Structure 1
């Protein structure tokens, strides 16, 4: 069964690569950096991953005005294209537009992540 899901993951990656566009998934850097010259700590440099993704709208039935707003978008990212699932402290950058990650649903039947369905908001 694992081979079946691995093939599905490859298919998802290919379809999104063919029909999607490049975006950046930005996650915060880990830890802090110490600057001894002024005895301060600063946040680590964010880590960017460039991947292909598809943007879709939520259906009117999904929009409740609270958890899902009318202007929210759903971003589909193949599981094989990211090192880790997008989290609420991550950003998605599409061209010059930066979105906040609100929620991520992971499609993972078995051990293989097929797809990340990411809810984003400006």
Structure 2
């Protein structure tokens, strides 16, 4: 096991202990068929991850004008995910659905994903 694999495992352990389960939901829109005039239903894919939902600090509000009142910072452990979150996904935490606001940060020293840091908005 490499150093970064150990870091990813430690990150997952800590976030599991001090965080909570979050659901990452990807929705694939059915492609319209002009011959039939219909589209198949959307496909919803979900995975459960471990995350920590945090408030932004006053300093972060001062330094980043893209943060709005009510936005949260969500840190998700990368280890064990089937796929990485992207900007079109929805996040469900404590029964509340959040959208991801750019930028989505991936902490990946030496190309090994350890943590995703997201700004989310409901």
TM-score by length of 1: 0.84
Q: Does the C-alpha gap of structure 1 residues 81 and 69 become closer, same or farther in structure 2, counting only changes over 3 Å?
A: farther
From 60, 63, 73, give the equivalent of 2:61. 63
Moved over 3 A (4+): 30-34
Give the superposition deviation at 1:18.
Answer: 1.1
Counterpart of 1:118 in structure 2 is 118
Instruction: Name the CA distance, whole Å, in 1 between partners of 2:41 and 2:59.
Output: 40
Match of 1:102, SS state, is strand
Where in structure 2 are the equivalents of 1:46-85 lying within 5 Å? 46-64=44-62, 66-85=65-84
Counterpart of 2:7 in structure 1 is 8
Instruction: Name the CA distance, whole Å, in 2 between partners of 1:111 and 1:89.
Output: 23
Give the superposition deviation at 1:69.
Answer: 1.4
The answer on whether the counterparts of 2:30 and 2:39 sit within 8 Å (CA) in structure 1 is: no
For structure 1, list consecutive stretches of 5 or more residues without a partner in the other structure: none
The answer on whether the counterparts of 2:26 and 2:89 sit within 8 Å (CA) in structure 1 is: yes
Give the superposition deviation at 1:29.
Answer: 2.5
Instruction: Name the CA distance, whole Å, in 1 between partners of 2:30 and 2:107.
Output: 29
Encode CA deviations 1:53-110: one digit per residue, 9 max, x unaligned. Answer: 1111111111157411131111111111323332221100112210001131110101
Match of 2:40, SS state, is strand
Instruction: Name the CA distance, whole Å, in 1 between partners of 2:13 and 2:79.
Output: 10
TM-score by length of 2: 0.84
Instruction: Name the CA distance, whole Å, in 2 between partners of 1:32 and 1:121.
Output: 28
